[in-house]
Structure 1
């Protein structure tokens, strides 16, 4: 990236109300068949346009072609039965009805390469694509086949690596792996979590990122955050391991969080995608607030390695709110750029 402080969103944007019910996760599609396929791609083009218009430097698909950041990828794999539902505890926080792994998991063909090719053609800027991480994937399923979280995670890591290589071939500049589960399952993180992440990104020459947050602004997550005390130090577990890993960029939640900013020092040498926009509130940040959040990180990350971003995805927000937050992110980064110049 030639731009100082290149801005981007983490991944998702709200979908248009003609595509799915607004401000809701796992919202069902309103269209069917060919209309749905066309509608998803129209929404993706619109999302790219809105990011450009807001002034963002790195463009994502806004996750417009997927119902949910994890399940849509899994839907395209064999070995998972979506009609056989079980209730599981997701990230030790809330219960959800999830599909069941009934056999060996595999990928028949690329899930997102065609969508990424379409985004590449619609954007002159660098593009980023997010995939769910192995640990977060296994946490969103009931496993009746492998009977081992680790074994299933390694299978998913191999599948993700195939997908990532197809996305790179489609022209994606940054492949981001979403691993919110890294803030919860610390024993697995150390035992095999980072190793599985590296397996998922093995052999790529594009940039790689891992996104670890405290979740969307839904009640289950905000309730959990309220129990975490005056300081949120979960990143202390993952950052030293990621600093030693092959991953290029580490994405974290910062604005309106209780994460001590000096934890970023544990990533020294890595690029840091810093969440400077709160996704759990409809309040629009001012450019000055965004700049202040970014400025506070500068003692712990070199300016040329700082990537201003959102804390997490914005799927559950209203479209105008998400648009205004993107504008604020771009304007805040520009304020700090001028200062640094």
Structure 2
């Protein structure tokens, strides 16, 4: 991946889906679905794929128009960040889901594992190819991580959560290889449950992430977060699982700092990694001024070099109004321009 400026800008993954595509009121009134939730889509089934393609093109153009350097597909075709991949696997009984307790403490229906997990074909390669054909900018695509999928499934086959995590890791590894072969510049693993379940994360989560990235030669990222701001309102003072990722094979670690006001001294623990720095507060629809975003980025300069930073929102923008999301993207691009000029003058 070449040609990126210092302090490149990027979404974490998701962009808002248009209300003509998905029932946003219903989407916002529930936890992210872990099994399929076809009732969320507005178009008839025979028109859904075309509508998703059209909305994805809108998301790509919105990112380009806002000035982002790295473009995603906005996860427009997904009901949630995880279920698009997790429900495409064999070994799952989707007609009779299981139940687990989510990070918010509520029961959630999840895929029930009834046999060996198997990926019958690449899940997101078409999505990546669609994105790659429609932009000349660097492109990123996201895949749910093996540890998080383990936490969001009900196992009735393996009998051991570590074995489940390693089975998922093998499938994620194969998917990542296919995505790079199809033209991805960056592939990101989404692992919010490393933060939500730190004890299990230390026991086998890091090993699962390492296995998912084993032998991968492209630029990879791992995203941690405290949960969607629209659904999880309280932020802890710091991450319960972060320094451990210094030893994983990922090139980039994606964290949130805007809403939480995170002490950026934690960046010292990630020396050698590029940090995807979340500097856009997604709990507030108001668009931050450029100078506010720039100040949030400057906080990191005490602990790491600007060349080791990517400017991003705290998490996915899925739940924001579209106008707000585009304004916040523009604020990121504006802050990057200000900071680049300062660095050139220094």
Q: TM-score, normalised by structure 1?
A: 0.93
How many angstroms does 1:93 deviate by?
A: 3.2
Q: Partner of 2:81 in structure 1?
A: 69
Q: How far apart, in 1, do the equivalents of 2:194 and 2:220 lie? A: 17
Q: How far apart, in 2, do the equivalents of 1:175 and 1:111 lie? A: 14
- Tell whether the 8 Å contact from 2:230 to 2:282 is kept in structure 1 after alignment: no
Q: Partner of 2:8 in structure 1?
A: 6
- The gaps in structure 2 that reach 5 residues or longer are none
- Tell whether the 8 Å contact from 2:195 to 2:239 is kept in structure 1 after alignment: no
Distance 1:191 1:153, change over 3 A: same
Corresponding residue to 2:238 among 220, 228, 232: 232
Map Cα deviations across residues 21-73 of structure 1 (whole Å, 9 max, x no partner).
12524471112334111111111111111000000000001001111111111
Which SS does the other structure have where 1:273 is aligned? strand
Q: How far apart, in 2, do the equivalents of 1:154 and 1:286 lie? A: 44
Q: How far apart, in 2, do the equivalents of 1:99 and 1:176 lie? A: 22
Q: How far apart, in 1, do the equivalents of 2:264 and 2:9 lie? A: 19
How many angstroms does 1:232 deviate by?
A: 2.0
RMSD: 1.5
Alignment: residue pair count: 332
- Tell whether the 8 Å contact from 1:59 to 1:125 is kept in structure 2 after alignment: yes
Corresponding residue to 1:317 among 317, 320, 332: 320
Equivalent positions of 1:323-338 (< 5 A) are 323-338=326-341
Which SS does the other structure have where 1:250 is aligned? strand
Q: How far apart, in 1, do the equivalents of 2:56 and 2:284 lie? A: 24
Q: TM-score, normalised by structure 2?
A: 0.92
- 1:165 matches 2:177: yes
Which SS does the other structure have where 1:313 is aligned? coil
Equivalent positions of 1:82-101 (< 5 A) are 82-91=94-103, 93-101=105-113
How many angstroms does 1:9 deviate by?
A: 0.6
Q: Partner of 1:271 in structure 2?
A: 274
- Tell whether the 8 Å contact from 1:274 to 1:310 is kept in structure 2 after alignment: yes
- Tell whether the 8 Å contact from 1:22 to 1:318 is kept in structure 2 after alignment: no
- 1:303 matches 2:314: no
Q: How far apart, in 1, do the equivalents of 2:99 and 2:166 lie? A: 23
How many angstroms does 1:92 deviate by?
A: 5.6
- Tell whether the 8 Å contact from 2:209 to 2:248 is kept in structure 1 after alignment: no
Q: How far apart, in 1, do the equivalents of 2:139 and 2:178 lie? A: 14
Comparing 189-198 with 115-124, which one deviates more in the overlay? 189-198
Q: How far apart, in 2, do the equivalents of 1:75 and 1:99 lie? A: 7
Q: How far apart, in 1, do the equivalents of 2:263 and 2:107 lie? A: 30
Q: Partner of 1:181 in structure 2?
A: 193
Corresponding residue to 2:245 among 242, 250, 255: 242
- Tell whether the 8 Å contact from 1:131 to 1:178 is kept in structure 2 after alignment: yes
- Tell whether the 8 Å contact from 2:169 to 2:211 is kept in structure 1 after alignment: yes
- Tell whether the 8 Å contact from 1:233 to 1:260 is kept in structure 2 after alignment: no
How many angstroms does 1:14 deviate by?
A: 1.0
How many angstroms does 1:204 deviate by?
A: 1.8
Equivalent positions of 1:211-226 (< 5 A) are 211-219=223-231, 221-223=232-234, 225=235
Map Cα deviations across residues 75-96 of structure 1 (whole Å, 9 max, x no partner).
1101111121233211263321
- Tell whether the 8 Å contact from 1:14 to 1:22 is kept in structure 2 after alignment: no
- Tell whether the 8 Å contact from 2:293 to 2:332 is kept in structure 1 after alignment: yes
